[in-house]
A and B are shown apart, each in its own frame.
Chain A
Amino acid sequence: MPDFDLVIVGAGIVGCACALEAARAGLRVVIVERGVVGGGTTAAGMGHVVVMDDSPAQLALTAYSRSLWRTMAPELPGGVEYESRGTLWIAADDEEMAEVFSKQTTYAQAGIASQVLDPRELAEAEPYLRSGLAGALLVPDDGVLYPPVAAEYFLCEARRLGVVFLSDHEVVRCGKGRIQFANGTSIESERILLASGASIDLLPSLPIQKRKGHLLITDRYPGVVSHQLVELGYLKSAHKLTADSVAFNIQPRLTGQLLIGSSRQYGDESREINHAILRSMLERAIEYMPCLKGLSGIRVWTGHRAATADKLPLIGPTADPTLFLAMGFEGLGITNAPGAAVLAIDALLGRASIIDAAPYLPSRIQQEAVHA
């Protein structure tokens, strides 16, 4: 095994983006994956590229990352299916409409374009939504993409720059400058970057909880949904850290297929479909868009998000000087992959970042929790 400056564990979208960023910085990189590229947390999600304003730090990272996606959009291969349709944050009542206005103010202060739609404009934008909605905030520069192919694109670019990729390599131990594989072999490296999504077997003490989600994909119905639709109530439900919740969330794919979500559950690490949750998730969706009832659903699946207590990722060094993290992205791993990659490699090289990296440092959460 040749010498490497950096071993990246996990070839999901975050690990692959980090590999590309590290290769661009001139590092000799090997990226190892136990399964296939983008086959874990990356494969389970919707691919929404979205600016979120849950906290100033979340807004900063999502806005920065989205700008990186928009810059690279023209170079992305067709298979990535990147489309900038724009998110519609839908307000069901006056209380949620007040949130629309405050969200618009926040976005404006951050230089994020957005536009308030009244009920008539909302109905024109999305004629299949139910009547009686209060309005929406349109964030036109948000996008959607197909995550596994995006991950593979980053990996291909990285490999062109000399990055070595080892698939079917399951890591059983990592830290203290060493990666040990299930097959008994190992790699020594002064830098290890853990990007294993929702899988924290290697560092069970990480302050990450698995948050299960369900998704359904329909057959092809081009034109039924034009934007990426999210209910504003999503914010309320997504914020609950303990209870199970569902929210109306639809992403249209380039093919005309609709991805219908979303659900959030703690304490269920199984891959099984929970039919009660699935049912309430779909009932919620039908409540907002009655025509969904008759659309043909072709597949349902589940996945796990890697959630932290403050809903911010863990990017940067740990108490083990050889070990760095790019983990804990909850539902924003696809959006944040390019930004997180820059921050992670900056941290690794001791460079200053374009945005303040402090809010994402693993050390913000109890130091002892991130000992290797």
Chain B
Amino acid sequence: MKPADVLVIGAGPAGLAAATAASRNGCRVAMLDDNPAAGGQIWRADITRPHDEDPARAAAIADFHTSGAALLPGRRIVDVPSPSTLLAEAGGHFETYRWDRLILATGARERFLPFPGWTLPGVFGAGGLQALVKGGYPVAGKRIVVAGTGPLLLAVAAHLREYGASIVTVVEQASTLQMLPFAASLLRSPGKLLQGAGYRRTLGATPYQTGCWPISGQGDETLRSVTLTNGRRTWTVECDLLACGFHLVPNTELAQLLGCTLQGSFVQVDSQQQTSVAGIYCAGEPTGIAGVDAAQVQGEIAGLAAADCSPPPTRLLARRAKEAAFGRRLTHAFRLRPEVLKLASQETIVCRCEDVTFSQLQTRSNWTDAKLHTRCGMGPCQGRICGSATEALFGWQLTSVRAPLFPIPVSAFCDESSSLNAPSAR
């Protein structure tokens, strides 16, 4: 019998674990990612420090390579031309991929919430700025405010500081009280605690203010200051950059285009990580924001299931349950306070592609209504940024995903693209 061709989308922790497990169990595996190297967002390679390797990342990538699976980097999935093919863009040309089993490990992105001044040059996503710095963007000597919510804030601040930035402050909207159960859960997971302690050490005397959030950014051409509040008092700090993100939202667009059922905002999976579509599995953040450890164990379960090694070993199921519980505590600890959903003024732009303001959206009844009548989410980003904001602000469920997932040249729909199967790496 011919070995099953397994295609893995996304080379972060979940994708690497899935590809490794499937390949070790006899499948021909190819893993696609839109970045030039494996690692995903959390393990993004740092071009300025190629030897400064995260040991967990190094181990996962080494295991992946030993398994014989193939990495096809620099490829972005743009369309689903038929139920069993994907169209990928690779440096301006297009390739079609077929699969027997598909594993979606598409990760998460930051959530942005609109406030006056959030569109000024100098305002970045927290993770976005970190990715830029890893790509060579200089921050030495820059005064940076890190704001928003989630465990990412401290990691970003520590990282920026290593690159010579001066961290003015880190403001976390969650209160200390709200984060307590999360801190307790770190005590139960020493590995995660060490990581956290590492952040604190690197940050040194940098103030970490909980129960605080940004309410506006000021500046004419570019950001000059940020006004912060703790709900009782507001104050303004001068800065050059604001790195601001409100935790993570899952990347579920490809899953939706493939017809996979969502449960709330997340891809619905069964005990083997299989989605509602037979033969399509999903692992990591798209199934629930729970971090790198959850992603790895889910990836391994998905990889084993795709290779027909069922049922999954009990130790994996136990680890998955434990990490899911961690994810629930994480979500609870960093849940958004109502105040941060009310920061936008009437004139604040919510959809940057189509310049749609908060006041235009206020009168709409749902996402479809907003799209049709204001064109919110109809621009090139297809609602990736404003969609998660309006979901948080108005409770709108994002209804439809349309091809292409990313803008592509008109000719890409026409080209007789080279059709290839997951290549054999052995």
Task: Please indicate the chain A residues that have their CB under 8 angstroms from the CB of B408 in the complex.
Answer: 296-297
- Which of chain B's residues has its CB closest to A281's CB? B413
B409 touches A296 (CB 8 A): yes
* Sampled A-B contacts (30; CB under 8 Å): A35-B368, A36-B365, A36-B366, A38-B372, A79-B373, A148-B372, A149-B373, A152-B373, A216-B413, A219-B380, A260-B410, A275-B413, A282-B413, A283-B414, A293-B410, A293-B411, A293-B414, A294-B411, A295-B410, A296-B407, A296-B408, A296-B409, A297-B404, A298-B379, A298-B382, A298-B404, A299-B402, A299-B404, A300-B402, A300-B413
- Across the interface, B368 reaches (CB within 8 A) one of A36, A283, A292, A298, namely A36
The minimal Cβ–Cβ distance linking B123 to chain A, given in whole angstroms, is 23
The minimal Cβ–Cβ distance linking B421 to chain A, given in whole angstroms, is 19
Decide if A37 is an interface residue (CB 8 Å cutoff).
yes
The minimal Cβ–Cβ distance linking B353 to chain A, given in whole angstroms, is 9
Question: What is B's interface to A at a CB cutoff of 8 Å?
Answer: 81-82, 365-366, 368-369, 372-373, 378-380, 382, 402-404, 407-414
Chief secondary structure at chain A's binding surface: mixed
Number of interchain pairs (Cβ within 8 Å)? 81
Besides the contacts A38-B373, A216-B410, A301-B402, what 14 more A-B pairs have beta carbons closer than 8 Å?
A36-B365, A39-B372, A43-B372, A275-B81, A275-B82, A275-B413, A279-B414, A282-B410, A285-B410, A286-B410, A298-B404, A299-B402, A299-B404, A300-B413
The minimal Cβ–Cβ distance linking A282 to chain B, given in whole angstroms, is 5
CB 8 Å contact bits of A328-339 with B (1 = contact, 0 = none): 000000000000
Task: Please indicate the chain A residues that have their CB under 8 angstroms from the CB of B403 in the complex.
Answer: 273, 299-300
Q: With the chains together, A298 CA to B402 CA distance in Å?
A: 9
CB 8 Å contact bits of A236-262 with B (1 = contact, 0 = none): 000000000000000000000000100
Question: What is A's interface to B at a CB cutoff of 8 Å?
Answer: 35-39, 43, 79, 148-149, 152, 167, 216, 218-219, 260, 273, 275, 278-279, 282-283, 285-286, 292-301
A296 touches B380 (CB 8 A): yes
Q: With the chains together, A296 CA to B78 CA distance in Å?
A: 12
Task: Please indicate the chain B residues that have their CB under 8 angstroms from the CB of A292 in the complex.
Answer: 410
Task: Please indicate the chain A residues that have their CB under 8 angstroms from the CB of B372 in the complex.
Answer: 36-39, 43, 148
The minimal Cβ–Cβ distance linking A285 to chain B, given in whole angstroms, is 8
Task: Please indicate the chain B residues that have their CB under 8 angstroms from the CB of A216 in the complex.
Answer: 410, 413
Task: Please indicate the chain B residues that have their CB under 8 angstroms from the CB of A35 in the complex.
Answer: 368
Q: With the chains together, A278 CA to B373 CA distance in Å?
A: 26
A297 touches B407 (CB 8 A): yes
B379 touches A279 (CB 8 A): no
The minimal Cβ–Cβ distance linking A262 to chain B, given in whole angstroms, is 15
Question: Which of A283, A298, A300 has its CB near the most chain B CB atoms (within 10 A)?
Answer: A298
Indicate whether A282 sits within 8 Å of B414 (C-beta atoms), given known contacts A298-B382, A298-B407: yes
A297 touches B382 (CB 8 A): no
Task: Please indicate the chain B residues that have their CB under 8 angstroms from the CB of A279 in the complex.
Answer: 413-414
Task: Please indicate the chain B residues that have their CB under 8 angstroms from the CB of A37 in the complex.
Answer: 369, 372-373
- Which of chain B's residues has its CB closest to A283's CB? B414
A300 touches B404 (CB 8 A): yes
B373 touches A299 (CB 8 A): no
Q: With the chains together, A152 CA to B409 CA distance in Å?
A: 33
Task: Please indicate the chain B residues that have their CB under 8 angstroms from the CB of A79 in the complex.
Answer: 373
Q: With the chains together, A283 CA to B411 CA distance in Å?
A: 8
Q: With the chains together, A283 CA to B410 CA distance in Å?
A: 9
B369 touches A36 (CB 8 A): yes
Q: With the chains together, A122 CA to B378 CA distance in Å?
A: 32
- Which of chain A's residues has its CB closest to B374's CB? A79
Q: With the chains together, A219 CA to B408 CA distance in Å?
A: 10
Task: Please indicate the chain A residues that have their CB under 8 angstroms from the CB of B365 in the complex.
Answer: 36, 167
A297 touches B410 (CB 8 A): yes
A295 touches B409 (CB 8 A): yes
- Which of chain B's residues has its CB closest to A295's CB? B410
The minimal Cβ–Cβ distance linking B399 to chain A, given in whole angstroms, is 11
Question: Which of B81, B369, B378, B382 has its CB near the most chain A CB atoms (within 10 A)?
Answer: B369
